[in-house]
Amino acid sequence: MSDMRPKIVVVGSSNTDMVVKAARIPSPGETVIRGDFRMAAGGKGANQAVAAARAGGNVTLVARVGDDLFGKQAAEGFRHDKIDTKFVFTDKRVASGIALIMVDRRGENSIAVASGANANLSAKDVERAESAIAGADVLLMQLETPVETVRRAAELAAERGIPVILNPAPARPLNVRLLRLVTVLTPNEIEAEFLTGIKIKAKTDMVKAARKLMGRGVKAVLITLGPRGVFVADGKAETIVPGFKVKAVDTTAAGDVFNGALAVALAEGRPLGEAARFANAAAALSVTKWGAQPSAPGRRDIESYLAKERGGPSLRSGRQGEGKTK
């Protein structure tokens, strides 16, 4: 029996997250004691791959890990989520990526990353995975690996008409050559400001930022707004798809879960606004649990949550105006 799940290729990073939850995030020079320590699989690429797999995607990950315990644990985790690891390369020169994360009592976080093997993911690695990219329904990427590698993957996808989702995180300068290859760009408010120079305070600012990015070649822009939802612009409509109210425990991978779920929804052919709502639900569920990859919800949980919330705004029903703000 053939696998009918949409095919998602994720090119990106893999880290091990070392997380301390404390009353507050320390100021420079300050020590905050009595924290709670946990270790979990992370990295934006790996997080998005796991989120996409659990949301219903047939996922292939293109990444690099070190020849160490963390790398072996990461690969085992991918296999557990039925992610194709054929193109997860082992780098014997450097260690696996590590992220040190502080989380406060409100669930807000501060993160420092040692890239390790992620910095060595190359354009040649991507070309070795060309067959997987050629067969994908969607290519999903972030910016914890070299920009040259991201651009090469985007070129391979664009040549075949495969949609490219780029989550520009962490924020880095992006030239027009890359942006022209992007189908959907998904910055948060800080990243949108970094890319455009427009401070995001109101919906009018989101509109200006999105139009500026689309003027550089991006087909559609989704500016994620945390619990408020996501601003969606595609040249035809500009609207806010509302988020969901939940009690946040840890927001560490909410953006990654959003992007993984978004990739699956778009690969399934859902309209952009509907896909954003599906992704909002996945992200909302993720912040109610600890950890990056451990917090990514399964497809059944996402659908059940949406069913409970079905009285809310739905772009499918044509009620776009309910999601608009002044």
List 99's β-bridge partners, or say none: 17, 113
CA–CA distance, 26 with 256 (Å, rounded to integer): 25
- What is the mean pLDDT of the segment spanning 112-132? 96
pTM: 0.89
Q: How confident is the model at residue 1 (pLDDT cuts 50, 70, 90)?
A: low
pLDDT of the residue at 116: 97
- What is the mean pLDDT of the segment spanning 273-288? 96
With beta carbons less than 8 A apart as the criterion, state whether 292 and 17 touch: yes
- What is the mean pLDDT of the segment spanning 177-201? 98
Q: Return the closest-CA partner of residue 142 out of 42, 278, 46.
A: 46
pLDDT tens-digit readout, 220-240? 999 999 999 999 999 999 999
Positive or negative CA dihedral for 44, 284, 166, 76?
positive
Task: Please say if the pLDDT value at position 86 is more than 90.
Answer: yes
Percentage of residues in the chain with pLDDT exceeding 70? 94
Task: Please say if the pLDDT value at position 139 is more than 90.
Answer: yes
Strand residues in the chain grouped as ranges (E):
7-11, 15-21, 36-42, 58-66, 88-91, 97-103, 109-114, 138-141, 164-166, 184-185, 220-224, 229-233, 238-242
Q: How confident is the model at residue 107 (pLDDT cuts 50, 70, 90)?
A: confident
Query: Which residues are catalytically annotated?
Result: 256
List the domains of the chain with CATH numbers: 7-323 (3.40.1190.20)
Share the mean pLDDT of the chain: 92
pLDDT tens-digit readout, 48-70? 999 999 999 999 999 999 999 99
pLDDT of the residue at 252: 77
Q: How confident is the model at residue 313 (pLDDT cuts 50, 70, 90)?
A: very low
CA–CA distance, 39 with 54 (Å, rounded to integer): 20
Based on its alpha-carbon atoms, the radius of gyration of the chain, rounded to whole angstroms, reads 19
Task: Please say if the pLDDT value at position 133 is more than 50.
Answer: yes
CA–CA distance, 278 with 266 (Å, rounded to integer): 10
pLDDT of the residue at 132: 98
CA distances (Å), origin 99, targets 16, 110, 118, 156, 268: 6, 10, 12, 30, 32
With beta carbons less than 8 A apart as the criterion, state whether 150 and 166 touch: yes
- What is the mean pLDDT of the segment spanning 79-94? 97
Q: At what angle do helices 272-286 and 254-267 cross, to 10 degrees?
A: 150
